[in-house]
A and B are shown apart, each in its own frame.
Chain A
Amino acid sequence: MRRDIESTSPTAGGGWDVPASPSPWQRLIGEDGLQKWVFYVPIAFMVLFFAIPMTATVVWSVFERTQFWMEPGFTFSAYENFFTSARVENYLSSMIHSAWAVVICFVLGFPVAVFVRRRVPRVAQHRVILLFILPFMISELVRVFAMRPVLGRYGLVNSFLMDIGLINEPITVILFSPLGVIIGDVLSFLPFMVFAGFLAMEAVQLYVFEVCDDLGAGTVRTFSDVIVPLAAPGIILGGPGAVNAGLIVNQAIVALDFPLAMAISTIMIVTLMALLYVGHRLFDLTKILEPIN
């Protein structure tokens, strides 16, 4: 049981000195004073600079546009502008590219998470996963920028394929094309899939795999009927991050059409929240917190 005393330093005997009763100042900054509230600073910060601006985005999206700014009002013209222009096509194609990127990330990255969890010795598992942190921590800007000398007309891939005689002229469809966008998305989000997949796999007890093997379930059946359903929260969390049509918002800001930028932001936030909500209803995303708890 805790003693209700203020103390200053450990004594030679291992206990703590007991000073006189606390002054009003000590009470103010003490555990029942400011110290108690300081833990709420991150929440206050997130509410003030994340929750409020994100919620207000919905309100600003129905404001009237002025020449350089916007003024309070209630109009859906920004939404009308979005849904009747080419932007909606860009948005939908971005969603489709993102969906492809998620599927490819799952196919390439999730088996890595499963392999590390099932077959790598327990003491080395986290070290192997750490390997994926290095590419993740290199600027996304640089990684995307690096695609040009790799996938370009005279890039690494085309030079290699031509050198080995597999192609006669450079492939141009892999850069500045939907395929290039998907490749960029995959390279950006693949580490996410490995991290989230591994976190989800950590919640799956190893004896589950042993039972599957003992009961004669094949690799494919174990993967589809046991591993994927159990690790679904991680797979879902690894996915929605790939939805990215932010460039359209940026273009609206550059054009000083703030209500339009807010309308597109609202649509995107709602889409992401809907994806996460569906994922949560289907697979209970809180399961991913089990290893932490």
Chain B
Amino acid sequence: MRDDYSSKLGYGLKWAYLLSIVGALLAPVFHIVYISFNEHGFSARIYEFTTDWYRVVLGDIMLVASLKWTFYLALSAVLTAVPMGLLAAKLYKRTQHKVAFVTLMLAPLFVPADIMASSLLVFFRNANGVFELLGEALGWKWLTHWFELGFLTALIGQILYTLPYAFVIILITMSRYHPQQTEAARGCGATGWQAFCQVEFPQIRAGVFSACAFVVILSFNEATRTALLKGGFDTFANVLVSQMLNVGMSGESYAMAGIMSIVAITVIGGFLIYTLIQSGRLERVARAKADPLMSS
């Protein structure tokens, strides 16, 4: 078999191409972060390092409030979407209708954000009308405000967006788990919950935690669905969009985009480094078990 190792130049060029693609994808973002630290902003001939733009952003009460809402939304999305992704992945393993199931779970990935958001907006408004009618007919006031635009509706939009990702990540991790281990634990008298907590979860933990990291970042970045479904509060991404549309690109906008990029790079970069270190450690442990003499 021909291989690239015989042509070091060819192999090196292919690696260079791969890294240049990653670089091209990341370069605009790093450029924005670079500009955000310039006292004179974009297209200035002089570059003077400053953190003033970030101070302005973090000193703005409205922006800090939007950051809080973004945090609450991301936290709520993690607490709901990740367990649901886990349940869905476990059900996928058992169900006989795998194609229909996976189509339903992954379909939101193929629907553009504006379409999903506008459909949900109309759905919530109609559902709210139905609930109001029911509430009035039955005299139950608590029924009337269920689907009024607000935190709950924004959260539903976020879950719809993040759940397919959480499902896929956990499912991929779960594909390496052998269900016979659960059967063995059950054979020893463990309940389903005990078998899950003590046998299965430790082995799929990495997938669950990475799903958490993904959901946090996806939720933090999301703007289109939240803009239509949020009601009376603003998220950080929504403020950035409205600032870009109304004020244009200011030093503040660059700093806000910089914050969004730095948060994503820190969380996902940290997760990637942790994953690489962990997988390296696990490989060393596996090698040591397989060949104790060589490893010592």
- A residues whose Cβ falls under 8 Å from a Cβ of B: 1-3, 5-7, 9-10, 14-16, 18, 31, 35, 38-43, 45-47, 49-54, 56-57, 60, 69, 108-109, 111-112, 115-116, 119, 123, 127-128, 130-135, 137-143, 145-150, 154, 156, 187, 190-191, 209-210, 213-214, 240-241, 243-247, 249-250, 252-253, 258, 261-262, 265, 268-269, 272, 276, 286, 289, 291-293
Q: Is there a chain A Cβ closer than 8 Å to B46's Cβ? A: no
Would you call B217 and A3 a contact (CB within 8 A)?
A: no
Name the residue of chain B whose CB is nearest to the CB of A39.
B91
Per-position 1/0 for B235-268, Cβ under 8 A of A? 0010011001000010001000100110011001
A sample of 19 more A-B contacts (CB under 8 A), given A7-B189, A187-B24, is A1-B187, A2-B187, A7-B194, A15-B189, A43-B104, A46-B107, A116-B18, A133-B272, A134-B265, A134-B269, A137-B264, A139-B220, A139-B264, A141-B240, A142-B29, A142-B32, A142-B221, A145-B253, A286-B98
Q: Which residue of A lies closest to B10 (CB)?
A: A119
> B223 touching A3 by the CB < 8 A rule?
no
Interface range for B = 35 or more
Chain B at the A interface: SS class: helix
Tell me, in angstroms, the Cα distance from A156 to B30 when the chains sit together: 12
Pairwise interchain contact A130-B275, C-beta atoms closer than 8 A:
yes
CA–CA, A119 and B5, complex, Å:
9
Cross-chain contact B260 with A138 (CB below 8 angstroms): yes
Cβ of A128: which chain B residues have Cβ within 8 Å of it?
18
Contact, CB under 8 Å: B120 / A49: yes
A2 and B2 contact, Cβ closer than 8 Å, known pairs A132-B22, A293-B175: no
B47 proximal to A (CB < 8 A): no
B21 A134 Cβ-Cβ under 8 A: no
Q: A35–B241 Cα gap in the complex (Å)?
A: 43
Can you name 26 A-B residue pairings with CB atoms under 8 Å?
A: A3-B187, A6-B191, A16-B190, A39-B94, A51-B104, A54-B111, A112-B18, A112-B21, A127-B276, A130-B272, A130-B275, A132-B25, A134-B26, A134-B272, A135-B22, A137-B268, A138-B26, A139-B220, A146-B32, A150-B31, A156-B31, A209-B1, A245-B112, A265-B118, A265-B119, A289-B102
- Mark contacts of B262-285 with chain A using CB atoms, 8 A cut-off: 1 yes-contact digit, 0 otherwise: 001100110010011001000100
Interfacial chain B residues near A261, Cβ < 8 Å: 118, 122
- B111 to chain A: which residues have CB within 8 Å? 54, 269, 272
CA distance A131 to B265 in the complex (A): 12
> Is B37 interfacial (CB-CB < 8 Å)?
no
Q: Which residues of A contact B149 (CB under 8 A)?
A: none
- Determine whether the beta carbon of A3 is less than 8 Å from that of B189: yes
Query: Are the CB atoms of B118 and A213 closer together than 8 Å?
Result: no
CB distance from A136 to the nearest CB of B (A): 8
Contact assessment for A52 and B123 in the assembled complex, using a CB-CB cutoff below 8 Å: yes
- Number of A-B residue pairs at CB separation under 8 A: 251
Of the candidates A57, A147, A213, the one having the most CB atoms from chain B within 10 angstroms of its own CB is A57
Inter-chain CA distance A269–B228, complex, in Å, is 19
Q: Which of B52-60, B61-69, B138-146, B155-163 contacts A (4 or more CB under 8 A)?
A: B155-163
Query: Is the pair A249, B115 in contact by a Cβ cutoff of 8 Å?
Result: yes
- Residues on the A chain within 8 Å of B40, using CB: none
B109 close to chain A: CB less than 8 A: yes
Per the bound structure, the CA–CA distance linking A50 and B162 in Å amounts to 13
In the A-B complex, the 5 residue pairs with the closest CB atoms:
A246-B114, A146-B28, A139-B221, A135-B25, A53-B123
